[in-house]
Chain A
């Protein structure tokens, strides 16, 4: 944004130390944490120098939790308590999970999201994911030598609201300040685009362990704009393992397997798949608990044949994204390959054939997402001066709608809308004297409510009684920069307003998160208190810094009265922070936020004016 680089005297931000920010790729198979150091994005390895953390969590009866390689090593011994690919369960019910019968877990069907019964008690996928995030959080703090300012966590672009909310909750549960949920293909595009100074229209083909995304982006200097995104949140490398596992069972004519054998054969299947990436033939040998010996050989041709439908399944979303973008294959300048599963030769061939060009493989498909997330985290933390940063415009992957008469869906925000987005729709009463209205919020592309994902139900009460069709209820959907939805309903004909704001029901209430945080500290109450105080102080410090920076930049926009109110609120917050009462700090933070409201709005208006003025100068 060359035109925005002219900063007015006194407008340049006060120099501050770099805030510690990381990008986390919370993957189905592996997870990573990366950061920007001396201007370069790097993955932070563990103490043994290993960059990846296998996304595997093992629970012990004594409450101990193993995460990563330690859990991976013992997965066949203790399959029920060793959770792999937990990402597939985020924001999902038991009926949503493919191959649930082949998974060696003890599922508990809970409303909204399934749970897993382990020796350490019933765990939600959010808690399991939080264990992975905690390890990465600690790894980063150790490597960077300080507490983190915040983290960007990546999610598949095709994740729906339930899956996004679950991921954000896991981040909070791991004690992270989640700066943003970032779509994985977008993160990859940032890393790729900045590394190669690319301009033009690119497709990102991201086949991970459990999810598939296809995003089309327009890259121009300083702007990453997602034009369309599509995918399948239940399709990934795991499915190739599963197909291979079934093939082994059929070929070796195996009887139904014990959980332990199931897990070890799945591991063998994955190894064979990886081996076939560079070899023509792989043999699978295993000794089952029954003593039976499995010994089959698989050639790459057979592997291609048995997985052909999976490969084809990825091309449907590719076509859909192109259509939504109003583009053809010839408009695409390059296809960036992301995710370990894109190493499979049949995937490479199918993509090359479809796009009529060789895909771009010059970035490590396992690391590129984490690196891009780290770059974005660095920007969001405010470590890059304006002009050196970039603008990211992303979209929602699935339409958001509301149930209407007859179980039909009325779309309110269509898929591929640039976020943040808001849209309102008016509804009216059906019967005379009706004082309440119930709403059902859904996400998906189908016409019938039963074919879409149910996100939330809520009721608006207190509508003044009037004739049918006379009330005017305005329902507003707001999607924020994380792609998360909130819904408000308001009745306004009589001037009497009733409004509710809902958070989708699968999400955890703040109280749940607090309880889980408490549970995770098996220690005394003081620890909980100490943590609450520390968090409140971090929040307070953050707000004080932001307020000072705003005043330094735009003091001219402050009238004396607002200035007085802000100064008083700042002093009150500083006083509260000197004490040890986290509630008092929180109140002072809220008060300062209220006091800076009008100032913030004026600064934003001024920002728009400057942008328009800059354009006029530029176009002369």
Chain B
């Protein structure tokens, strides 16, 4: 595999992509098993527990590496962040903060969901929260499927950026549901 040897020949600095670090192709649809295996194999080489008896220089290098590997792993495991990373590698900025222009019907739907979460929290209705959680899970799956199409098949990165922003909205709703469960306890 020429790709692998090319990656191995390059310095594994912080500038290499998260995918390269784990020896993976930069795709939205990810082989989770391969990712986990690569993560664990690298960790077992660089983790601070391996260097607790080593000198300062090695412990410092170990801390930096492990931090980097954890960050890369966290990014690739999360669909929003994985997609953003791929888009960034393609020179497309998802611009969560500045680009707030979303389709009106999508925004309307978001508002309705948010209100439903608030209602369920106020009335301590766990059943309603469960249903909302399920609904959002379903919406996320649909969006992730569309993202995979846009990124891996069509390579339509501007369209993908819009989908990532929508997915991010759903993640925020999910964390609001988590917060609601906590309030109810």
User: Chain A interface (Cβ within 8 Å of chain B)?
Assistant: 1, 3-4, 19, 149-150, 179-180, 222-223, 316, 319-320, 323-324, 376, 379-382, 386, 389, 391-393, 417-423, 478, 480-481, 542-543, 546-547, 549-550, 592-594, 596-597, 599-601, 603-605, 607-616, 618-619
Contacts and interface: CB of A to CB of B under 8 A. Distances in A.
A612 B71 contact: no
Interface in B26-56: 34, 37-38, 40-50, 52-56
Nearest to B70: A418
B58 A550 contact: yes
Nearest to A612: B23
Given A422-B67, A600-B60, A615-B38, A607 B43 contact: no
A605 B12 contact: yes
Given A421-B71, A546-B54, A613-B8, A604 B46 contact: yes
A382 B65 CA distance: 20
A616 B71 CA distance: 23
A593 B1 CA distance: 38
Given A391-B40, A596-B57, A615-B23, A481 B49 contact: yes
Contacts of B73: 418
Given A320-B182, A320-B185, 16 more contacts: A4-B41, A389-B49, A419-B70, A420-B70, A421-B67, A423-B71, A478-B67, A481-B49, A596-B57, A605-B11, A607-B46, A611-B41, A612-B42, A615-B38, A615-B41, A618-B37
Contacts of B42: 607-608, 611-612
Contacts of B57: 593-594, 596-597, 599-601
A604 B43 contact: no
A608 B71 contact: no
A74 B24 CA distance: 65
A7 B139 CA distance: 48
Given A223-B40, A319-B185, A594-B57, A607 B49 contact: no
B61 to A, nearest CB: 4
Contacts of B23: 612, 615-616
Contacts of B74: 417-418
What 4 A-B pairs have minimum CB-CB distances, sorted nearest first?
A607-B45, A380-B52, A600-B57, A481-B48
Given A546-B58, A593-B57, A1 B41 contact: yes
Nearest to B11: A605
B9 to A, nearest CB: 10
A392 B66 CA distance: 12
A3 B178 contact: no
A139 B21 CA distance: 46
Interface residues of B, number: 45
Contacts of B50: 386
A596 B57 CA distance: 6
Contacts of A549: 54
A180 B58 CA distance: 16
B173 interface: no
Nearest to B58: A600
B118 to A, nearest CB: 16
Main secondary structure of the interface of A (DSSP, over half): helix
Most buried by B among A389, A418, A542, A592: A418
Contact of A596 (B7, B38, B55, B181): B55
B63 interface: yes
A600 B63 contact: no
Contact of B40 (A1, A417, A422): A1
Given A223-B40, A420-B48, A610-B45, A542 B53 contact: yes
A421 to B, nearest CB: 6
B73 to A, nearest CB: 8
A350 to B, nearest CB: 15
Main secondary structure of the interface of B (DSSP, over half): helix
A135 B124 CA distance: 52
28 contacts: A1-B41, A180-B52, A320-B181, A386-B50, A389-B49, A391-B43, A417-B70, A420-B48, A421-B71, A542-B53, A542-B55, A549-B54, A597-B57, A597-B60, A599-B57, A600-B57, A600-B61, A601-B57, A603-B58, A604-B45, A604-B46, A604-B62, A609-B8, A610-B45, A611-B44, A612-B22, A612-B23, A612-B41
B4 interface: yes
Interface in B124-145: none
Contacts of B71: 421-423
Interface in B144-185: 178, 181-182, 185
Contacts of B60: 597, 600
B150 to A, nearest CB: 25
Given A319-B181, A417-B74, A619-B34, A547 B53 contact: no
Nearest to A391: B44
B159 to A, nearest CB: 28
Contact of A611 (B45, B70, B181): B45
A594 B60 CA distance: 11
Given A608-B12, A611-B45, A596 B58 contact: yes
A316 B47 CA distance: 33
Most buried by A among B44, B48, B50: B44
Nearest to A218: B36
B140 to A, nearest CB: 12
A618 B40 CA distance: 14
Contacts of A610: 45
Given A393-B43, A421-B71, A323 B181 contact: yes
Interface string B102-122: 000000000000000000000
A614 B65 contact: no
Interface in B1-25: 1, 4, 7-8, 11-12, 21-23
Contacts of A543: 55-56
Contacts of B48: 420, 480-481
A604 B70 contact: no
Nearest to A482: B48
A592 B21 CA distance: 30
